[in-house]
């Protein structure tokens, strides 16, 4: 969790310099979370700061926050993602003037809730390594679409595959 907070803090601290240099990307979108027992939905916001935007492979840090918007029935219970926060190191390679491929690896902390009608509810959190890859296609010089697949390997065997799609803006 400390790593996640550090990555998110570093991203926020870098915002003023990033605006001046054009090294910041902010995005939001939809994420589908496929856990071992449930399929969940979330809204996800991201901020990425690149150290070297215009030279070779781009290296950066990324902060991510997701908030559950849907639940799934598991037997007689309902499972939902409460929230998830993550910090990543990112390596990005431009494929063309408007297409970038990227890979990321980091650490995530997620909290889930399970509700059983007539019995009550319980919460559990899981944290661990997260890694994935994706692509961005820019429709204009500043606005694009982003898609990625990320594997979250949580403690207690709580793993999830997350597919995200959304928009991204360069600043």
The backbone region for 40, taken as left when phi is positive above 0, alpha when psi lies in -120 to 50, beta otherwise, is beta
C-beta of residue 147 within 8 angstroms of C-beta of residue 21: no
Domain spans of the chain, in order of start: 2-170
CATH number assigned to the domain covering 2-170: 2.40.160.20
Average pLDDT over residues 97-116: 96
56-93 tens-digit pLDDT? 799 999 999 999 998 999 888 999 999 999 999 999 99
Residue with tokens 């990543």: 88
Please report which helix (H) or strand (E) contains residue 9, including its range. helix 2-13
The DSSP symbol for 70 reads -
Task: Say how far apart CA 32 and CA 141 lie, in whole Å.
Answer: 28
Predicted local distance difference test score (pLDDT) of residue 160:
94
**What is the pTM assigned to this prediction?**
0.84
If pLDDT is split at 50, 70 and 90, which confidence band does 156 have?
confident
The DSSP symbol for 1 reads -
């Amino acid at each position: 969790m400390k790593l996640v907070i550090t990555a998110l803090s570093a991203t926020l601290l870098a915002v003023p310099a990033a605006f001046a240099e054009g090294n910041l990307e902010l995005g939001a979108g939809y994420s589908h979370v496929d856990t071992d027992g449930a399929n969940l939905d979330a809204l996800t916001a991201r901020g990425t700061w690149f150290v070297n935007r215009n030279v070779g492979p781009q290296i950066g840090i990324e902060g991510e926050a997701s908030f559950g918007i849907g639940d799934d029935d598991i037997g007689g219970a309902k499972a939902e993602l409460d929230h998830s926060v993550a910090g990543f190191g990112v390596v990005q390679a431009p494929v063309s003037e408007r297409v970038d491929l990227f890979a990321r690896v980091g650490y995530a902390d997620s909290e889930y809730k399970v509700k059983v009608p007539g019995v009550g509810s319980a919460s559990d959190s899981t944290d661990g390594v997260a890694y994935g890859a994706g692509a961005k296609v820019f429709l204009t010089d500043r606005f694009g679409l982003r898609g990625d697949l990320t594997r979250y390997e949580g403690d207690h065997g709580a793993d999830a595959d997350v597919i995200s799609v959304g928009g991204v803006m360069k600043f």
